[in-house]
Structure 1
Amino acid sequence: MHVPIRPVWTCAACGRPWPCPSRQRQLMAEYTDARVSLSVFLSACFVQACADLATMPAGVLYRRFLTWPYEMPTTTTDEG
């Protein structure tokens, strides 16, 4: 499972920084049509990661946790 290993925030399955690309795809599928809820979840993870990774610049963690959902295409289409 692509879950975080804390306090280092690496993926238990692949060892990449969490959320790894596999978990990002899983989260996008899980939160289809619920991007606000995904943002709330990732914001909570971001706050925890900031505490755990206190020496890492907050901007790096911000990009890692909070920007990728808006860079990925949505699965819904605008019809009409």
Structure 2
Amino acid sequence: MSGYGVSLAELRRHVAARPTWRCRVCAAPWPCQPAKLGLRTEYARDRVALAIYLCVLMHDAIADRLRTHPDQVDPTGYFDRFIAWTRPWPPPAPSPPADDRPDLHQTLDTYRSQAPVSVQDSARVPPGTGGRADGAAP
């Protein structure tokens, strides 16, 4: 089972028919939703490998399309169809608006003031002192 109540065997039936790159089961542009679900399940622990695999297939799909309809190739559309959906899941939390973000210099100044040894003094700390410039035991 895929974790979604559908068997992986059922999801694996959704394969591309070349040179049209439509699903052999549902006739949707491949990868169709069931194929994406199956691929996402199969590559759950290696998103990079999934993206690389789909890059190769996207290249094949574009090459097939160039042979059959050279004037109908939309690289952005192929990227969206094959690659864009492989980005991290769940999606990362949105960044706060620019005006709500802390000032980077203020954050660094705060960090430096709270650090036991300043960044400037770290080069002068004698080895074996546990990071303390005064040589006292940590």
| TM value normalised by structure 1 | 0.85
| TM value normalised by structure 2 | 0.51
Instruction: Tell me what 1:59 maps to.
Output: 76
The answer to whether residue 36 in structure 2 is matched with residue 24 in structure 1 is yes
Larger gyration radius, structure 1 or structure 2: 2
Instruction: Return the structure number with greater relative CO, CA threshold 8 A, min gap 6.
Output: 1
Instruction: Tell me what 1:45 maps to.
Output: 57
SS of the equivalent of 1:53 reads helix
The percentage of aligned residue pairs carrying the same residue is 34
CA RMSD after TM alignment: 1.5
Could you list the structure 1 runs, at least 4 aligned residues long, displaced by more than 4 angstroms after superposition.
none
Question: Which sections of structure 1, spanning at least 5 residues, go unmatched?
Answer: 75-80
Counterpart code for 1:34? D
Describe how 1:7-22 pairs up with structure 2 within 5 A: 7-22=19-34
Task: Tell me: CA distance 1:10–1:70, structure 2 relative to 1, closer, same or farther (3 Å).
Answer: same
- Higher share in helix: 1
Question: Which sections of structure 2, spanning at least 5 residues, go unmatched?
Answer: 1-12, 67-71, 92-138
Counterpart code for 2:46? A
Task: Tell me: CA distance 1:48–1:30, structure 2 relative to 1, closer, same or farther (3 Å).
Answer: same
